[in-house]
Structure 1
Amino acid sequence: MTGIVHIVGAGMAGLSAAVAATEAGRTVHLYEAAPQAGGRCRTVTGADGFTHDNGAHVLLSANRAARGLIDRIGAQDGWIEPEPRGLPVYDAHAQRLSRIGLSPWSWMARDKRPPGMALADLPRLARLAAPLVPPLADRPIGPIFAGSALHDQLIEPLTVAVLNTPVSRASSARLGRALRRVMRPGGARLLIARNGLGPDLVDPAIAWLAQRGAHLRTGMRLRAVEAQDDRAAALVFAGGTIRLSGDDRVILALPPAEIARLFPQIHAPTRFEPIINAHFALAEPLPAEAVPRFIGLVGTLAQWVLVRADHLSVTVSAAEDRIADNPEPLLARIEAEITPALEAAGVACGIGERRRLVKEKRATMTQDAGGAVYRPRPPLRGLAFAGDWIGPLPATIEAAMLSGRDALAQIAEERP
């Protein structure tokens, strides 16, 4: 493989493929329809100057593909563990804050266990997550833990955060695969971008690629892929057509709806789940040594609140029931619910007047029990697909980056 690798889509999957291709010595041309790279993992600035990530994205130390890319681009110093003593989780019903270990191994210490955890929960957790016992057939997660305090204190918020699908129908198989990775030694550390996904991930990746000769062009929406002799022959963009040589290869790192538009015969997800993110500017900045913080929520509309020096980002996952709500009442409710959680976690901050609600109606595919595992077969030679919707893992940053690497390996093995 000696030609150019054309990568369409500069989100997490596309950036992963671009870094892997550049490392392999390939010439990379990267195209993005939006004005900036990053996809859903980006930092945005409004007309009022309010800057924040579009969501409260986190990594775990078990995310080897993501951490490997961060190390390769030299951005590892931008990622820190905000809660090394355990994740603070505020229960709004009990008005109580607990610190919970993210690894099941940590639960051997009583003070790191989820509140209400009982011995009867252990076999169910083992069947869900442990690699040494026969895994459960894929089924909804909620009924597995019905009647257990662990359902409300851990399983539901964890499921909604990881799968962005209501626990009543979310896939136990997908969650189990994620949990097995977390159970590896050292795999359960929570990691946050110190300054944001733009400065601590996307910008360093673009700079690393540019230093090695990769080309990024934004504002490039792909209209079609032309074929000749069952091979990708041209990329038709809104602004012009790029002809491909016989040695060139193409990776389409695009959302499933775009893949279905380009290739209607491809089996891709057609059902999606929304996420709502609420961002609140702080009245006064917090000391640098006091942030970031990351707090879990139980018994509230939202599941997580990320505290940065000058703003808060709050995530409402699996938000189908709230996606049509008016922004102002929704922001007011979220503010009222997170205020006692912040106080209980020792975060002394005043919320300012600037605030923004971001609704992503197609944040992830639906990840129901019994749902398809998508491994789309490219209809043309010289072409591969990448995205967080491909493969058996939850649709996360890690899944996206793994798919980007896999797509490069797929086209690298193909003969001209």
Structure 2
Amino acid sequence: MSVPAIKSSEEAIKIEEKYGAHNYHPLPAVLSKGEGVFMWDVEGKKYYDFLAAYSAVNQGHCHPKIVDAMIDQAKTLSLTSRAFYNDILGKYEKFATEYFGFDKLLPMNTGAEAVETAIKICRKWAYERKGIPETEAQIIVAENNFHGRTTTIISFSNDEGARKNFGPYTPGFIKIPYDDTEALQKVLEENKNVAGFLVEPIQGEAGVYVPTEGYLRKAKELCKKHNVLFIADEIQSGIARTGKLLAVDHEDVKPDMITLGKALSGGVYPVSAVLANDEVMNVIQPGQHGSTFGGNPVAGAVAIAALEVIRDEKLAENSMKMGEIFRKELNKYIENSSVVHKVRGKGLMNAILINDSEDSSTAWDICMALKENGLLAKPTHGNIIRFTPPLVITEEQIMDCVSIITKTLDQFEGKM
């Protein structure tokens, strides 16, 4: 069987529709090349990337240092499994734990795997350290969360599209409103079997929902008071996306566990991790959790390079500065707009709220128009558009993108 050569976007979409499972609804842009903040489609049209693969390519597309690290390691040793040691994993673990300030790292591949890992560690800690009766541990989660789409994770999701007809669901989770420390306090006071509180410092899939200042700090204090693990899902919000290395750093909060993924590899390879201190991580013993590919040499080499790029190119600082410019310029437009009523976010994790219902097509139509004008973004929750470009973007490029966005929005003024 021969592999077909893709000659047009239309042909590529038809092939994928015929032979691929229909588990995504992509914007009809067939991309074939990426560099920095740009991507090109099959026909050669150039776009600004304002999604950054859901914050996986924070360092920009095909960053040469990260790509070189991957190629060099792949040519030397790609996989041993964890049946043996390799000469990269320990180096990576030491580098990453010192980088983020934790004792231990457990390596996995995808973000959802990292969250599943954190849940297992939390439950085991609850039984062996806190003394909760086995099988009775509860983990508190926030409504409108997004932590992945595995069977366990959708069990505590509000997204009926992800949940419906995938039951029976995994028990052991208590949902409370996001950004509500009173609700958290109430559950903690009434339930002695709570093991952990799993939360996104900024809810990404929910539409870049930024909590009230002080929410994370108060939540951590409550968890500490009740001997409950505070688990921060930094898979989207971490690794400089919000203008700090981690989003919790905006409130100087140190979680008991963090989950990382996406930009941990700069988007060139699946790499994820859970970090915690010895008191928590040491509950995991040989044979109790693992992954054939987790901690492979290529992943370790790639992650080290990706984190070095974040540090050496000062991408957190650039994210903070560019994000402030972006929101300031969009707010000028919003003052007189009938289409958009709000821009919100931190650093370069932002979203605009469209003046239409969640079941309308307006946000999608705007994204289609943005595509035609050379910028790629994607709606979420019907009437919200996320804007999360690679963190290497310059001020000149940000201003160019603001111009594209506002000119596109102009096309919809007066039509709603």
Higher helix share: 2
- What TM-score do you get using the length of structure 2 for normalisation? 0.30
So what's the TM-score if we normalise by structure 1?
0.30
Greater share of residues in strand: 1
